[in-house]
Structure 1
Amino acid sequence: MTRIAFTSVFFGDAIVEQLVAGGVLSIQQQYRGTSLLTGIRSFRDDELLRLQWRYLLADSLVLLPRVEWDVSNDSRSLGISRLERVRGAAGIGYSLLIGRAEAYAGAEHAEQLGVREGGLVFGGRFQSQSDQRGDVMLTGTVSAERVQLRRRTNSDLGGRLILSTPNTGVFLLTLEYNRQRRDYYTTLGISTDIALEHRTEERWALDGWLRQEIGPAELVIAPQLSLLGVERFFDSPTPLSGLTYVRRRLHQFDGGVSISLALSTSHTLHEAGLDVRQRTETNATYDQFAAPTPQLVEDVRQSERIRDNHSARLQLWTAHTVELSSHDSLALRAQSTIVRYDTPSPLNYDDRDELSVTAQARYLRQWSPALSSVVTFEYAAVHFVFLRPQRSALSNWNRSFRLAAGIPYALGGVRWHPSFEILAQYTSYDFDGLSGVPPSFSFRQITYRDSIRVSLQPLTIEAQVFVRWFLRGDFSWMQFAERPTGNGRELYVRIMFWRTVTEQLACGIGGRWYELAQQLQLVSLAGLSSQQRSVAPDVGIRFTTSELELRLNGWYELRRIGNGAVQGVPNVQLTVARSL
């Protein structure tokens, strides 16, 4: 479980394979739970459980019964707040000289928006053996599935073809096709009547790379191409919804090529690259049913046309690593990107040009086998230019400077990892000072992170520290002057004392402290200043074997926000990991 402010996220994942009744039982478990503890309390569950038993009937024949259960449940009434699917199927797998084939059939029960229905499911999969023709290896996979429920039909069809040169590794080409159909129940948010929507997605993808050595250098050319088509329509019209009277189609093209050149010597590595991308999206509508009024569907047509767009991107980058001596090294990296984004609709004002530049320098020094240090400096700048007059006032530069340093230390039973960071971000608008233009602003912060672990068997001490000071203000880039508007600080400290009971078991006790304070200096916003503090006793158990690791932590947080009453919030975190 992880917790951020008032949101808790629960995880429960497991993958297990076990010999059972002469076969191999595979279990795949995935769980996500999200809890929101502010305002209207809500909880969402997402659970996936899959079981498959592989039983060998003969040398080339395998029995494959399987069970699947998917459920999604949200306490809020948002869209499809509850989904459930239960499937049971049996199949066989047969190995041939040219590949391996699987076929299965069974039944499925599903629920959406309270509508329950059942039906049949059947499908198959074929994976070919790798076939080598000269220096080229050919591999292919084809799969298909169809679920026929009472009113809904879900189907999948896909295939992949791979051409490669495994002996030399100079060429790889992958061609992939996928077609997916899904039917959904929906209320359209305007009535309690349930409508049925059909969605079909078709995608072609081609990507690969070609590697060629040119003297001491290596050249890699990697093309990529993707074609996507999506069609959506309803099986019957709803008088108040224009969406149900039309058939919507989306066509998307995404393609490009990247070229990189690498040169390495005994003490250096030099790389440079070029990446060119282009993307086009078009949306169209076609009459599915006769609309009672033209305006009902015209609004839908217009909203679809607004989403049409075309973008092009050009990126250049270079990276260099130099081993200065046996104890220190220097790494440099720079990148520049230009993006052009156009929208043909006169009602879409997002047309813009983007220019981004980033540069990084990192110096690493190994002072001794136990002590090292790393210093990093980064600069990044992004310029947004909005081309339409409706949004041109938002054109801006965003610049950031970052300096970070760390000094890891490890000797014997002592592990110490302090780090320090200075960050400055400046957002300046091109037409700063004019009417209707937001004020430029700045954000700066200093951060200190530290973790230490001291092992004095049977006692181990662990501590984590996080300290942050930050400052906000109105800013002028031309004058490089600032008027502070707010500041704050954040502090987190946790210390645990662990005692080893046995070789596998350790118990710990300690505590944690958290503080966040934000002060707004403008008189009109002073009432929005806030302060939060919390303290919590902390206990934990660790159980570790050669195959299993179990960690259980619990802490009871006493939290106060502003001048409010103290709130008690219990927290439990359980982590289980097993090696297979």
Structure 2
Amino acid sequence: MKLFKNTIITGVLGILFLFTSMVKCQQDSLELLILHSAPNILFTNLSKQLNTYNLRSGFLYSSNTETFSLKVQENFNSSFIKSTTKNIRDEQALKIKTLYRINNNLLAGLDVLSNILSDNRRIEINQASVSSAILFAQYMPEEFLLIDPFFGYSFNRQIGEADNGYVYGSEALLNNYRLSDFNLQSALRFNNEDISPRKNFLRYINVAASKEFNQFVSNTFEGKFIQKRKDFYYTADSVTANEFGIKNNIQSRIETTYFLQNKLQLNQIFDLLDVNFISRLNWRIIDRDTRYRSKSIRSGNIFDSKIEELKLEVESATSYRSDFFSGTLIAIYSERDEKNITKKFEGIDESFFEQRSDLEKRKNNISFRSAIAFNGDLFISGNDRINISLFQSKLKYDTPSIENDDDRDEILSIARLRYLKKVSPFFEAIISAEGSISHVVYIFASRSSNNYINRTLKLSAGGIYSGSRLISRNIFEVSANYTVYDFEDINPNFQSFSFRQFSATDSTVLFLSKRMSIELLGFIKLSEQGDLKWAEFSTRPTRFVEEIFIESKIFALFNKLKTGIGVRFFALSNYNYKVKEKLIDSRYSSIGPLTEITYSVIEKINLRLYGWYEIISERNSLQREQANLNFELQWNF
């Protein structure tokens, strides 16, 4: 099961990585320059399910005039878990931002922030808070340039340590500045947070230059530098605490990133093709420093470490479109080199340094990944369409240390074929077939018993009916997963296995009249896991799971009030096998009434109540009863 999940997750992440890399964007570091307007809203959500209670409340208010802007945002989350111990966790975040226009080129504002975390568990950080008030100005000497200096004060509390100090810096934004034939975009942020004895800072510089050679050809070059330092407390060991007279030690984490990217775009080639070429270079350094270190500690743990990561990516994307076919082909090649370095600490025996260095070097790794993906639609007619998706990737993972045997090669292939047909104006049918194969091979004999091949196959069929009185979505699916270890005869701890499943899902709404409707939601899943002999393609079932869920409701509409009552049923049964006989192992079922009420008090205030009462039965256990509730309030003002 674990390998099956890992394979599917790897495939999904691979596809997402390929198809999102073309629109990859870096998080904007600027925080004060722009005050976005947003709809005013107040909301609260209270839910209780099993032994967990959750409360989520908040509001967002903004007001804008010609000379003054205000934005207030509040979020509060609280959870209560009732078990052998009672766990309460609260999180509160308040943001207030104002902006006053002095003249057309100069604005001034105030930014207030408050974050509070409280957790009654005995964890490292169970009490923390950050509050700050910052005055800032926005000066626009030119329509393409915006400068924002700021100054304020911050109060910070973490695991019993209270720090406060000044926050100051500046932001700048250069937008659509023409320099010869180039269009320049740039952003800068310089931020210092001196909350003694901690020092946090941020340095952010981003410059992008683009040039259009003609209406079909353009090139964009981007460079970025980011350096961020964060100091945080952690509980000091007894030796360090006694020597320096402290309770909590401080560790600094400085992350530095250098990023370069070039993107060449060729559009409307022969009025059919768009081609993009992208190259990226990313160098990242993570440096850790511990404030208080005692030379009395004779071990490798006294040393700090540093990580250096260099990553190179080359990517191309080609899109084709015509009246009967459209598709995109993406290819990526990347190399990544990670080095873990131990930093020296004078006064400590060299043998401890060598010991820690050896441990860090074992983390060093070099990886090479190449991947290609294709997605296309073939339009057979106005009512018929075939979708094809293909994905192929190869990963080579090397570890330079001779003491590390994690070197491996991974190959993943995924193919999917879907046929969509619009049978009538009311009904659309979908048939899909999908398969994947992955192979993991460890290079060294010490790990070769982990080598395996995973094969999956999934067939599904379904349809969507949308009529005047009936809307129904149904899908039926069968899937099979086969995992085969290369050397299971040598190592009895690794046993090839199969996992097969059938599922049927239904979602239907029947409108009895303008004021009454019936809704049905349900699914059934039948799963079987067993030992596999791939050479003979035979299985010996070891476990069977049956899962059924049904929720039916009838709704009535009275003006702005919509009320519904119904029944909710869920059952989960687990079976084991004795030879070929299926024997019940555990059974869980719950059934009970449910209700759902939505009410529009006025046009902008909406209430929703959803709850169910369940009678729970378990094999070899006493019957019990439980209530579940979800309440929502939303006010758009």
**Residue 132 of structure 2 corresponds to residue 87 of structure 1:** yes
Matching residue of 1:485: 542
Report the Cα offset of residue 50 of structure 1: 1.4
Higher mean alpha-carbon deviation, 471-480 vs 407-416, is at 407-416
Number of positions where the alignment pairs a residue of Structure 1 with one of Structure 2: 576
How far has the Cα of 1:211 moved from its partner? 1.6
Could you tell me how far apart the structure 2 residues matched to 1:448 and 1:47 are?
A: 42
Among 518, 524, 534, the alignment partner of 1:467 is 524
- Of 211-220 and 410-419, more deviation after overlay is shown by 211-220
Structure-1 residue corresponding to 2:119: 74
**Matched residue, 1:501:** 558
Query: Match for residue 263 of structure 2?
Result: 209
Partner of 2:585: 529
Equivalent position of 1:62 in the other structure: 107
Residues 368/431 of structure 1: CA separation in 2 closer, same or farther (3 Å cut): same
| Contact 1:470-1:487 at 8 Å conserved across structures | yes
Partner of 2:219: 171
Please say if residues 498 and 506 of structure 1, whose CA atoms lie closer than 8 Å, have aligned partners that are also in contact: yes
Residue 123 of structure 1 deviates from its aligned partner by 2.4
**Contact 1:234 1:244 survives alignment (8 Å):** no
Q: CA 1:494/1:231 → structure 2, altered by over 3 Å: closer, same or farther? A: same
**Which one of 152, 162, 174 corresponds to residue 106 of structure 1?**
152
| Matching residue of 1:25 | 70
SS of aligned partner of 2:323:
coil
| Letter matched to residue 190 of structure 2 | A
Residues 554, 573 of structure 1: 8 Å contact kept? yes
User: Paired residue for 1:304?
Assistant: 360
The 3 A distance-change label for structure 1 pair 117 and 409 is same
SS of 1:300's equivalent in the other structure is helix
| Contact 1:233–1:244, Cα closer than 8 Å, also in 2 | no
The letter for the 2-side match of 1:461 is: I
Give the equivalent residue in structure 2 for 1:138. Answer: 184
Match 2:333 to one of 251, 257, 276: 276
Residue identity opposite 2:434 in structure 1? E
Residue range with higher mean Cα deviation, 85-94 or 472-481 = 85-94
Following superposition of structure 1 onto structure 2, how do residues 125-274 of structure 1 map, counting pairs within 5 Å?
Answer: 125-165=171-211, 170-187=218-235, 193-213=247-267, 214-215=269-270, 216-238=272-294, 239-240=296-297, 242=299, 245-274=302-331
Query: In the TM superposition, what is the alpha-carbon distance from 1:174 to its structure 2 partner?
Result: 2.5
Q: Which runs of 5+ in 2 are unaligned?
A: 1-44, 242-246
Residue in 2 aligned with 1:512? Answer: 568
Give 3-state SS (helix, strand or coil) of 2:137's partner. strand
Task: Work out whether residues 165 and 172 of structure 1, in 8 Å CA contact, stay in contact via their aligned partners in 2.
Answer: yes
- The yes-or-no answer on 1:334 pairing with 2:396 is no
- 2:311 is aligned with what amino acid? D
CA contact (8 A) 1:162 1:173 kept: yes
Question: Aligned partners of 2:625, 2:351: CA distance in 1, in Å?
Answer: 56
CA contact (8 A) 2:134 2:153 kept: yes
2-structure distance, mates of 1:63, 1:505: 47
Offset of residue 210 of structure 1: 1.3
Between the aligned partners of 1:454 and 1:311, the Cα distance in structure 2 is 55
Check the 8 A contact 1:374/1:407 in 2, yes or no: yes
Q: Give yes or no for the alignment of 1:414 onto 2:470.
A: yes
Structure 1 residue aligned with 2:437: 381
The CA distance in 2 between the partners of 1:532 and 1:169, in whole Å, is: 63
- 1:528 and 1:165 map into 2 onto residues whose CA distance is 70
Q: What amino acid does structure 2 have at the position aligned with 1:370? A: F
CA distance in 1, matches of 2:219, 2:167: 39
Q: Normalized against structure 2, the TM-score is what?
A: 0.83
Deviation per residue, 1:329-387 (Å, 9 max, x gap): 11112221111001112333321100111111000000111110111110011100011
8 Å Cα contact 2:49/2:628 also seen in 1: no
What is the TM-score normalised by the length of structure 1? 0.91
428 and 418 in structure 1: CA distance in 2 versus 1, 3 angstrom threshold? same
Q: 1:247 to 1:137 in 2, by over 3 A?
A: same
Residue deviations 1:196-251 (CA, integer Å, cap 9, x gap)? 11110101222342121443332211212211001001111145585763231110
Relative to structure 1, the CA distance from residue 548 to residue 392 in structure 2 (aligned partners, 3 Å threshold; closer, same or farther) is farther
**Distance (whole Å) between structure 1 residues aligned to residue 634 and residue 469 of structure 2:** 25
Q: Which residue of structure 1 lines up, in the alignment, with residue 36 of structure 2?
A: none
- Structure of greater relative contact order (alpha carbons < 8 Å, 6+ residues apart): 2
Which of 416, 424, 428 aligns to 1:368? It is 424
Equivalent position amino acid for 1:111 in 2: R
* Worse-matched range after superposition: 61-70 or 472-481: 61-70
Asked whether the 8 Å contact 1:108–1:119 carries over to 2, the reply is yes
- Range that drifts further, 76-85 or 197-206: 76-85
Counterparts in 2 of 1:574 and 1:88: CA distance versus 1, 3 Å: farther
- In the TM superposition, residue 19 of structure 1 has moved relative to its aligned partner by 4.4
Structure 1: tracts of 5 or more residues without a match: none
Query: How large is the RMSD of aligned CA atoms in angstroms?
Result: 2.9
The within-5 A match list for 1:443-454 is 443-454=499-510
Aligned-pair distance for 1:577? 5.6
Instruction: Give the conservation status (yes or no) of the 8 Å contact 1:383–1:396.
Output: yes
Matches within 5 A, 1:422-461: 422-455=478-511, 456-461=513-518
* Residues 1:20 and 1:218: Cα distance change in structure 2 (over 3 Å): closer
